[in-house]
């Protein structure tokens, strides 16, 4: 009987793992499917040079999507990340080029500015009870407007010899620096969400905010913190893009928030909160990056990328509403 029970447990383990991580498995299969399709359509899709390019360009998306996973897991959303990215990137270029500030000061100042935007979002959402969609939509407009005001619509170059460009253009052992930064952020995000008390609080708030509050969790403080993290991640991404391109611009990051949200929900994080996965977000971000890259290599209009992004969000919402949420509810019951 014990031997039979042991065998049944061994056979049921893969099934349980597949059931518990079905969303990640699905996006992994989708990722592989995209790779196969574009490798057949284009000749150099699988080249090492192209993959280094994909990894370099997807790093800002991965950084912000990691933070957005925490936000969406609480049941919130942050539409201001693209505007924050643009403002910090443009202001960093101005600080380096016009004000002559040292790059460490610019880096720290950029992160603090991102934290400030996140704190404003978090205050109105957590302490004033205004829906996250409305608050972050407003800050999206305000922050983008400030970026336009300080740049007057022009691109601001950074000094060619500035060490600030190191984090956007340098390589370490052949790996682009943006990719290394993205990997570090990804690992930290995974540890925080899955192995720290703060991550458990984030998930609990998304699953049942009132229940989390009654259990002693300071839901307002946790919510405030996830938006601060989101703002800082957007700021870091903005500085990486400015360093890589050699200039900051007020139109950087337009539509970026949709790509970030698409990466997160494509990775099977629930848009309704209570469940998040950083590994899924990684696969979602890379999937969007290879779709963009594959369309370009296939000589297909890049405007189709926006159509694909919107379609991904719509399908992800449908899956969350009709399939994933009922399945998780049944599992909890």
Domain that holds residue 161: 55-252
**Percentage of residues of the chain with pLDDT beyond 70:** 88
Contact 35, 290 (CB under 8 A): yes
Query: Of the ranges 28-37, 112-121, 122-131, which one carries the lowest mean pLDDT score?
Result: 28-37
| Residue recorded with tokens 């297909």 | 300
Asked whether residue 242 is domain-assigned, the answer is yes
Average pLDDT over residues 172-191: 93
pLDDT value for 322: 66
Domain membership flag for residue 314: no
Residue 223 lies in a domain: yes
Q: What pLDDT was estimated at residue 11?
A: 52
Q: Is 300 inside any structural domain?
A: no
Taking residues 7-30, report their average pLDDT.
64
The confidence score (pLDDT) of residue 8 equals 46
Q: Give dist(CA 275, CA 328) in Å, integer.
A: 9
| HEC sequence for 192-256 | HHHHCHHHHHHHHHHHCHHHHHHCCCCHHHHHHHHHHHHHHHHHHHHHHHHHHHCEECCCCCCCH
pLDDT one-digit tens code per residue, 199-248? 999 999 999 999 999 999 999 999 999 999 999 999 999 999 999 999 99
> Does position 66 have pLDDT exceeding 90, yes or no?
yes
- Tell me the sheet residues that pair with 176: 171
Residues 142 and 137: their CA atoms lie apart, in Å, by 9
- Per mean pLDDT, which of 31-40, 139-148, 158-167 is the most reliable? 139-148
Q: Are 164 and 109 in contact (CB under 8 A)?
A: no
Residue 280 belongs to some domain of the structure: no
- Assess if residue 133 is contained within a domain: yes
For residue 194, pLDDT over 60 is answered with yes
Instruction: Output the pTM of the full model.
Output: 0.88
Closest CA to 264 of 189, 157, 210, 175: 189
In the three-class reduction of DSSP (H, G, I as helix; E, B as strand; rest coil), residue 172 is classed as strand
Q: Considering the domain boundaries, does residue 83 fall inside one?
A: yes
Q: Is residue 202 part of a domain?
A: yes
C-alpha angle 130-252-171 in degrees, rounded to nearest 5: 115
Banded pLDDT at 20 (limits 50, 70, 90): low
Supply 58's token pair: 């997807």
Question: Domain tally for the chain?
Answer: 1
For range 58-70, the mean pLDDT: 96
Structural contact between residues 27 and 266, judged by C-beta atoms closer than 8 angstroms: yes
pLDDT tens per residue across span 277-288? 999 999 999 988
Distances (CA, A) of 269 to 24, 58, 74, 275: 9, 19, 11, 6
């Amino acid at each position: 009987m014990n031997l039979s029970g042991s065998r049944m447990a061994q056979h049921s383990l893969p099934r349980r793992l597949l059931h518990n991580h079905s969303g990640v498995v699905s996006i992994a299969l989708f990722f592989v499917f995209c790779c196969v399709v574009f490798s057949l359509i284009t000749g150099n899709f699988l080249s090492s040079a192209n993959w280094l390019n994909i990894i370099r360009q997807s790093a800002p998306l991965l950084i912000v999507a990691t933070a957005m996973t925490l936000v969406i897991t609480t049941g919130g959303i942050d539409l201001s990340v693209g505007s924050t990215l643009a403002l910090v990137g443009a202001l960093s270029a101005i600080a380096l080029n016009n004000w002559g500030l040292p790059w460490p000061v610019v880096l720290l100042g950029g992160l603090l500015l991102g934290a400030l935007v996140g704190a404003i979002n978090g205050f109105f959402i957590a302490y004033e009870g205004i829906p996250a969609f409305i608050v972050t939509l407003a800050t999206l407009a305000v922050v983008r407007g400030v970026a336009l005001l300080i740049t007057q619509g022009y691109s601001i170059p950074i000094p060619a010899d500035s060490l600030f460009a190191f984090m956007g253009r340098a390589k370490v052992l052949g790996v682009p620096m943006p990719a290394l930064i993205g990997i570090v952020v990804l690992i930290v995000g995974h540890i925080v969400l899955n192995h720290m008390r703060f991550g458990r609080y984030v998930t609990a708030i998304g699953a049942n905010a009132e229940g989390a509050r009654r259990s002693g969790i300071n839901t307002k403080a946790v919510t405030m913190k996830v938006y601060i993290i989101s703002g800082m991640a957007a700021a870091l991404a903005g500085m990486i893009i400015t360093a890589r391109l050699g200039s900051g611009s007020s139109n950087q990051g337009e539509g970026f928030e949709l790509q970030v949200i698409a990466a997160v929900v494509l990775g099977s994080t629930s848009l309704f909160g209570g469940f998040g996965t950083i590994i899924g977000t990684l696969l979602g971000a890379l999937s969007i990056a290879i779709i963009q890259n594959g369309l370009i290599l296939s000589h297909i209009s890049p405007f189709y990328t926006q159509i694909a992004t919107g379609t991904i969000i719509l399908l992800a919402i449908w899956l969350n509403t009709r399939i994933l949420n009922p399945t998780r509810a049944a599992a909890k019951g």
